[in-house]
Amino acid sequence: MAQEEREARVRSALSGLVQQFIRRLPGEDDDTFDERQENAYELGSSILESRTAPAVVADLNHAGDLIKKKLIKNNPPDKALKFSNLYSRLLIQPVLNQKWAILYLLYQLADSDEPEPPLSDQSRQLSSALREDRRLLEGVRAGSSLRNGPRREEKVYDEAFAPQGLRNLPVRDGNQRGPREAEAAATKNIPDQGKSQPPKTLMLAENYVEISPSETTLLRDLPFTLQGLTSTTLAFPSTSVLKLPNSLPPPIISILHTLAEPSLLYRGLTEFVASTEGGLLGQSLRAAVAGELRSYLGLVATLEGQIRRALSSLDENEPRGGIGKAGVTLKRCVVWTREATMGLRLLSLIAEESKNRRGGQLISLIHGFSSSHGDPLVGAFAERLLTHVTRPFYDMLRQWIYDGELSDPYHEFFVSEQDPNAVNTAEDGRSRGGASSVWEDKYKLDDDMIPSIITEDFAQKVFLIGKSLNFIRHGCGDSLWVEEYSKAASKELRYGDTETLETWIDEAYKTTMARLIHLMADKFQLFEHLKALKNYILLGQGDFIALLMESLSANLDRPAGAQYRHTLTAQLEHAIRGSNAQYDSPEVLRRLDARMLQLSHGDIGWDCFTLEYKIDAPVDVVVTEWGNRQYLKVFNFLWRIKRVEFVLSTTWRKCMTGARGVLQGVDASVGETWKSTRGVVAEMIHFIGQLQYYILFEVIESSWDELQTAIHKEGCTLDDIIRSHTDYLNAITHKGLLGAKKRGHSDDAPSTFMMQLGDLLRIMLAYRDAVDGLYSWNVAEFTRRQEASIRVNSRMDMSDDEVLPTPATTRRGPKHLAHDSLSSTPVPGAIPGLRSAGGEDELLPTLQERLKALGGQFRAKLSALLGDLAYQPDVDMRFLGVVMNFNDFYQPVRRRTGTKVPPKEKAR
pLDDT band at 442 (very low <50, low <70, confident <90, very high): confident
d(CA 372, CA 369): 6
pLDDT exceeds 90 at position 653: no
d(CA 337, CA 317): 30
pLDDT exceeds 50 at position 174: no
- Average pLDDT over every residue of 560-576: 87
Please give the pLDDT value at position 157: 41
Task: List, for residues 118-141, the tens digit of each pLDDT value.
Answer: 444 444 443 444 344 445 445 434
Q: Which of 62 and 679 is assigned the larger pLDDT?
A: 679
Instruction: Please say whether the beta carbons of 598 and 623 come within 8 A.
Output: no
Determine the 3-state secondary structure of 741 from DSSP: strand
- Average pLDDT over every residue of 77-104: 79
d(CA 767, CA 152): 130
Listed residue (82, 178, 200, 75) closest to 133, CA to CA: 178
pLDDT exceeds 50 at position 904: no
- Average pLDDT over every residue of 95-107: 79
Q: Give the lowest-confidence range in 38-42, 196-200, 467-471, 655-659.
A: 196-200
Instruction: Please say whether the beta carbons of 64 and 103 come within 8 A.
Output: yes
pLDDT band at 414 (very low <50, low <70, confident <90, very high): very high
Please give the pLDDT value at position 787: 81
Q: Give the lowest-confidence range in 557-561, 669-673, 773-777, 801-805.
A: 801-805
Please give the pLDDT value at position 267: 92
CA torsion through residues 599, 605, 608, 612, sign: positive
Spans of all domains in the chain: 2-48, 211-371, 390-523
Task: List, for residues 682-693, the tens digit of each pLDDT value.
Answer: 999 999 998 889
- Average pLDDT over every residue of 32-51: 81
> What is the residue-averaged pLDDT of the chain?
78
Task: List, for residues 831-852, the tens digit of each pLDDT value.
Answer: 333 333 344 557 888 888 998 9
Instruction: Quote the percentage of the chain above a pLDDT of 90.
Output: 28
Residues 6+ apart with CB under 8 A from 456: 447, 450
pLDDT exceeds 90 at position 527: yes
Q: Give the lowest-confidence range in 156-160, 690-694, 762-766.
A: 156-160
pLDDT exceeds 70 at position 194: no
- Highest mean pLDDT among 239-248, 458-467, 790-799, 877-886 belongs to 458-467
pLDDT band at 434 (very low <50, low <70, confident <90, very high): very low
Q: Give the lowest-confidence range in 296-310, 521-535, 716-730, 787-801.
A: 787-801
Please give the pLDDT value at position 482: 92
pLDDT exceeds 90 at position 655: no
pLDDT exceeds 80 at position 528: yes
pLDDT exceeds 60 at position 572: yes
Instruction: Quote the percentage of the chain above a pLDDT of 70.
Output: 76
Please give the pLDDT value at position 321: 59
What's the distance, Cα to Cα, between the start and end of the chain in Å?
113
The H or E element containing residue 710 is helix 702-711
pLDDT band at 494 (very low <50, low <70, confident <90, very high): confident
Residues 6+ apart with CB under 8 A from 199: 121, 125, 191
pLDDT exceeds 70 at position 740: no
- Average pLDDT over every residue of 475-502: 89
Distances (CA, A) of 380 to 217, 242, 346, 516: 37, 31, 12, 42
Listed residue (602, 604, 612) closest to 563, CA to CA: 604
DSSP string, 387-428: HHHTHHHHHHHHHHHHH-----TTS-SSEEEPPTTS--B-TT
Please give the pLDDT value at position 126: 36
Task: List, for residues 354-381, the tens digit of each pLDDT value.
Answer: 988 888 999 999 999 988 888 888 888 8
pLDDT exceeds 90 at position 606: no
In whole angstroms, what separates CA 621 from the centre of its chain?
A: 22
Please give the pLDDT value at position 822: 32
What DSSP state is assigned to residue 619?
Answer: G
- Average pLDDT over every residue of 622-645: 91
The 3 state secondary structure assigned to 833-900 is HHHHCHHHHHHHHHHHHHHHHHHHHHHHHHHHHHHHHCCCCCHHHHHHHHHHCCCCCCCCECCCCCCE
- Average pLDDT over every residue of 181-196: 44
pLDDT exceeds 70 at position 204: no
Exposed/middle/buried for 675, CB within 10 Å: 0-12, 13-18, 19+? exposed
pLDDT exceeds 60 at position 485: yes
pLDDT exceeds 60 at position 588: yes
Residues 6+ apart with CB under 8 A from 638: 538, 539, 692, 695, 696
pLDDT band at 823 (very low <50, low <70, confident <90, very high): very low
pLDDT band at 201 (very low <50, low <70, confident <90, very high): low
Task: List, for residues 339-353, the tens digit of each pLDDT value.
Answer: 899 999 999 999 999
DSSP string, 129-171: HHHHHHHHHHHHHTT--GGGHHHHHHHHHHHHT-TT---SPPP
